[in-house]
Amino acid sequence: MRLNKLAGLFVAAALSCSTLGFAQNDSGAKQDMKDAGHDTKKAAVATGHGTEKVAKKTGHGTKVAAKDTAHGTKVAAKDTAHGTKVAAKGTAHGVKKVGKKIAGTPEPTN
């Protein structure tokens, strides 16, 4: 009978230990979930900061590019206007020359 009590006590002790082990594992799982949540939050915040920095740099680059494009367009427009003016004067002179030749007026020599 004494062996039977001893075996029962041993089984009870083993079950107690395994139950405690499960409780610890469950508690560990809860902590792991909390840790995962915190890590996810930190990663989201870091991603947000990175996205903000990139967006600011992109916005600045776009602003600078737009300003440079506007300046280039302004310069090109001035150059085009000047070229058109010069071409118009040349055309007018050429028309005047051809008109005199057709009319038979001699061209002055310089």
Q: What's the domain count of the chain?
A: 1
- Where b means 16+ CB within 10 Å and e means fewer, 9-20 reads eeeeeeeeeeee
Helix/strand/coil for 9: helix
Q: Does the residue 64 lie in any domain?
A: yes
Instruction: With beta carbons less than 8 A apart as the criterion, state whether 101 and 107 touch.
Output: yes
Domain that holds residue 51: 1-70
Report pLDDT digits (tens) over 54-110. 999 999 999 999 999 999 999 999 999 999 999 988 888 888 888 777 776 666 666
Q: Does the residue 42 lie in any domain?
A: yes
pTM score, whole prediction: 0.43
Residues 6+ apart with CB under 8 A from 97: 107
